[in-house]
Structures are given as structure tokens and as C-alpha cells.
Amino acid sequence: MLGREAILSGVKVIQMTKVDSTQDELRRRLESTFLHKPLCVVAQSQSKGRGSRGNVWDNEQALMFSFAYNAPLILPDDVPAQSVAIFLGCIIRDILRESGSSAWLKYPNDLYVLDKKAGGILIERVKGVLLCGVGINVASERFGKIDIALDEEKFFARLFEVLQNPPSWKQIFSNYKLEFWRNYPFSFHIGDELVSLRDAFLLEDGGVNIGGRVVYNLRECGV
């Protein structure tokens, strides 16, 4: 269990008992004073946790946190702007696997264990700073959950260590492409439309071609 405040791999990590959402709490801190160093907000519970497409992120017991992605955390120059969630999701997936998890990344921003969602990643930009919100279910009777005992302090130290000297998008993409087949039985949303990934073809910039329609993360960019 983390203390009230800790410095892990150069990042200030603040543990809070309850917030509306870690993403909104981090946004308020960013808007009240410009963050010159990365800050991570962790909450034991959220009253209005946020998921993709404006949904409420419902959790039973989870690791919930948001962090400001700024120096010394480095986003490689070759990461496509629309694929930051994939990039970060793959890094988190790999860190979980280092501890024995079988987690994998479902396109474009969900962490899965077997066929159930165990977590997700939300990316926003505020004042030119990326705000990265992450939720990982630790225990759940209704949803998926991570399949390892998660040491929070070790997890955060490793995450922020990797993000200070991260792999390139090319490295991440090559690895992700090898197991993209895991997505084929699933679907994802384009706006309110649920689209099957059965015949999706992964593009090098993180988009997918579905029946001739090219889609990037949660927005359609062409036909």
C-alpha cells in the first residue's frame, strides 16, 4: 500500500481516499497551476470514474490512477497522436506480464484477461499536457480482473522507470501486431456504432482497416 505521498522513479504519487475521478482531480490540479513535473493521482475509490466515450467507469475493487505525461516522462517522437492509448496500454501490459499476468491489450484501449475486460486507458490533452487515466480491476464478481497480486509501489516505480526511457512506437507496434489476432472475436465502438474486429487489419500507425474503412482509435478518419 502506498503512503499519502511518495516519489517513485522521479514522479510524485499522491494517494487519495476518494475522488469524483482521478482524471478530473488531475485536471483541476493542472488548471490551477501548471505542472512542471509529472504528477500521479491514485484513488481508493471514485464516485464518477470516467471511461471511454463519456461512460462511467464502474469498478468494485481496482487500482485507479491518472498521471500527467510530461518530462522526465518521454513520449517517443514516432508515436502517432491517435495511438497513445495503444502505446501506453502495451507498456502496462508488459509490466503486468513481468509479474506473471496473462493480460493482453484489446483494441484500442482495454486491458483483458482471457475474454474479459480487466482494465482500460483514457487519454486526454489539457494545456498541451497528456493526462493518462488507468483503471485495473483487482477484484470483481461482475467483470474481469487482473490475474496476479498487484504490488502498487512496484508497479508505479516500474511504469515510470520505463516511461523515462521508453521503447519506440516501432518496437511497440511490432510486438502488438503479433498478437492482434486476439481481437478477432471482439468488437469496439466507433461513436455509437459497434463494429466487429473479425476482419480488421492493423495499420502501422495504429489505425485499423475494416472493410475498406480506415478507423483511428475512437474516430473515423476516412473511407
Q: Are 28 and 111 in contact (CB under 8 A)?
A: no
pLDDT reported for residue 91: 98
pLDDT of residue 160: 97
- Provide the pLDDT for residue 1: 54
What pTM value is reported for the model?
0.90
Per the CB < 8 A criterion, the answer to whether 25 and 66 are in contact is: yes
Angle subtended by helix axes 84-98 and 152-164, to nearest 10: 130
pLDDT digits (tens), the chain, 223 positions:
566 889 999 999 999 988 999 999 999 988 877 667 789 999 988 886 555 444 544 556 899 999 999 889 999 999 999 999 999 999 999 999 999 999 999 999 999 999 999 999 999 998 888 999 999 999 987 889 999 999 999 999 999 999 999 999 999 999 999 999 999 999 988 878 888 999 999 999 999 999 899 988 754 444 3
Domain ranges for the chain: 5-179
Give the pLDDT of residue 201.
Answer: 95
The packing angle between helices 169-178 and 84-98, to 10°, is: 70
CA 111 to chain centre: 8
CA proximity to 26, closest of 84, 72, 62, 66? 66
CA distance 46 to 64: 8
Q: Which fold has domain 5-179?
A: BirA Bifunctional Protein; domain 2 (3.30.930)
